[in-house]
């Protein structure tokens, strides 16, 4: 009896599903239009944020699969070529100021006033110091970053480029483009660099 009941219920569900209208998957243009209709500019957050770059669009298009190698290499090369290294050739600033930037999640939000200084919010994704109890794990731990790598010219250039635009090394990286997107200033990046690489920084203790 239970078997017959189960079969009848299954047949009923299948019949209802068969009668349901077919809803096609929305096009990219329709998705963008829906997004733009649901947002409005407020504070530091403008509508321009909904406009995807070539790289962002490619990563969206291939969200469920790997980017083709030629396209990935093209996008990473363009990102690396766009990196602006320190104008005075000095990579390291003040690690204490860098720690404050790493701790701060302020800036570029609807609640922030135009012109306010942004933070890096680095602890949202990384462990940096041994004493910090609250940190994310979306990105790898950066504890002992400089202690393990040193501060040779190649490491300085790589780290700067990674902070400036992580897409230079991973086209669809989730890491913010701190320099390329204008989130942090050159001096702020220098301070974050010092936090990562200065031997006296708590990152390297």
Plot region of 19 (φ>0 → left; ψ -120 to 50 → alpha; else → beta): alpha
Q: Is residue 58 part of a domain?
A: no
User: pLDDT by residue (tens digit) across 167-198?
Assistant: 999 999 999 999 999 999 999 999 999 999 99
**Cβ atoms 189, 179 nearer than 8 A:** yes
Q: Is residue 78 part of a domain?
A: no
User: pLDDT by residue (tens digit) across 9-63?
Assistant: 555 545 545 555 677 888 878 887 887 888 888 877 888 878 889 999 999 999 9
- How far is Cα 36 from Cα 100, in angstroms, rounded to an integer? 34
Q: Is residue 77 part of a domain?
A: no
Round the average pLDDT of the chain to a whole number and report it.
Answer: 89
Q: Is residue 74 part of a domain?
A: no
Range of 99's domain?
95-204
CATH of the domain at 195: 1.10.760.10
Domain count, the chain: 1
Q: Is residue 43 part of a domain?
A: no
Q: Is residue 186 part of a domain?
A: yes
Q: Is residue 89 part of a domain?
A: no
Q: Is residue 162 part of a domain?
A: yes
- How far is Cα 97 from Cα 109, in angstroms, rounded to an integer? 22
């Amino acid at each position: 009896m239970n078997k017959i009941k189960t079969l009848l219920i299954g047949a009923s569900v299948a019949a209802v599903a068969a009668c349901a209208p077919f809803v096609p998957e929305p096009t990219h243009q329709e998705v963008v239009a829906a997004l733009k209709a649901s947002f409005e500019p407020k504070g530091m957050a403008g509508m321009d944020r909904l406009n995807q770059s070539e790289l962002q669009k490619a990563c969206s298009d291939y969200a469920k699969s790997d980017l083709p190698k030629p396209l990935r290499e093209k996008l990473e090369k363009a990102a690396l070529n766009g990196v602006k290294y320190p104008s005075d050739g000095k990579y390291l600033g003040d690690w204490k100021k860098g720690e404050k930037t790493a701790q701060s999640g302020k800036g570029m939000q609807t609640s922030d006033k135009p012109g306010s200084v942004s933070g890096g919010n680095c602890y949202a994704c990384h462990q940096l110091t041994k004493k910090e109890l609250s940190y994310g794990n979306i990105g790898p731990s950066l504890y002992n970053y400089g202690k393990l790598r040193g501060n040779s010219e190649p490491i300085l250039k790589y780290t700067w480029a990674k902070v400036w635009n992580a897409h230079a090394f991973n086209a669809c990286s989730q890491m913010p483009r701190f320099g390329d997107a204008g989130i942090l200033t050159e001096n702020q990046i220098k301070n974050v660099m010092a936090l990562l690489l200065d031997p006296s920084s708590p990152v390297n203790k």
